[in-house]
């Protein structure tokens, strides 16, 4: 098990093919499917996505990671960093998904804050973004709680998303002031 980071309640580790069953359950949840393409919501699509994330980790040194609740050792989501090109400009996205049965407990915010810190301090990124479906109000709130600010709407994979971002300087200032 390759642990990437830990928060108070979560362990984020590399995804493996052994995570397929848990991820397939997560992606099959109707609440999760509201904001994801239909082709990733069945077992075959989940397997394809899992293989892509493992490959992304190998190529870039980061990816989406299995998000495990320390208390139960149960996979409760997948959160991490992804490379994207938007309007011909490269970005690294902070992405988070927590199982609906574990939502409203601050876990997505806790994971996102740890990921942002990792992106700035371990990966030396100067800016991080989040791409959020306009109707996904809880994800927008998580982005805002990490200090991200809405910048503009962008088309990504054929769907309009809200692009939020935060700079390393802003993140560091928030850490220094405890906000």
Q: Decide if pLDDT at 40 tops 70.
A: no
Average pLDDT over residues 33-43: 72
Q: Which domains does the chain have, with CATH numbers?
A: 3-177 (3.40.630.30)
> Residues 18-44, buried b or exposed e (16+ Cβ, 10 A)?
ebbebbbebbeeeebeebeeeebbeee
How many Å is the maximal CA-CA distance in the chain? 46
What's the pLDDT score for residue 38? 60
pLDDT digits (tens, 9 = 90+) for 57-96: 999 999 999 999 999 999 999 999 999 999 899 999 999 9
pLDDT digits (tens, 9 = 90+) for 97-146: 999 989 899 999 999 999 999 999 999 999 999 999 999 999 999 999 99
pLDDT digits (tens, 9 = 90+) for 151-168: 999 998 888 999 999 999
């Amino acid at each position: 098990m390759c642990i990437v980071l830990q928060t108070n309640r979560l362990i984020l580790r590399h995804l493996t093919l052994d995570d397929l069953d848990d991820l397939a359950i997560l992606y099959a949840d109707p609440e999760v499917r509201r904001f994801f393409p239909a082709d990733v919501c069945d077992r075959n699509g989940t397997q394809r996505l899992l293989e892509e994330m493992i490959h992304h980790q190998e190529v870039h040194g980061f990816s989406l990671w299995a998000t495990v609740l320390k208390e139960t050792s149960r996979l409760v989501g997948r959160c991490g960093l992804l490379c994207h090109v938007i309007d011909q400009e490269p970005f690294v996205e902070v992405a988070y998904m927590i199982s609906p049965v574990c939502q409203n407990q601050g876990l997505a915010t806790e994971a996102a804050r740890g990921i942002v810190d990792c992106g700035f301090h371990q990966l030396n990124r100067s800016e991080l973004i989040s791409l959020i479906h306009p109707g996904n109000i809880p994800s927008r709130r998580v982005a805002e709680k990490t200090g991200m600010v809405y910048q503009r709407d962008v088309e990504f994979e054929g769907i309009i998303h809200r692009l939020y971002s935060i700079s390393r300087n802003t993140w560091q200032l928030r850490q220094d002031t405890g906000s």
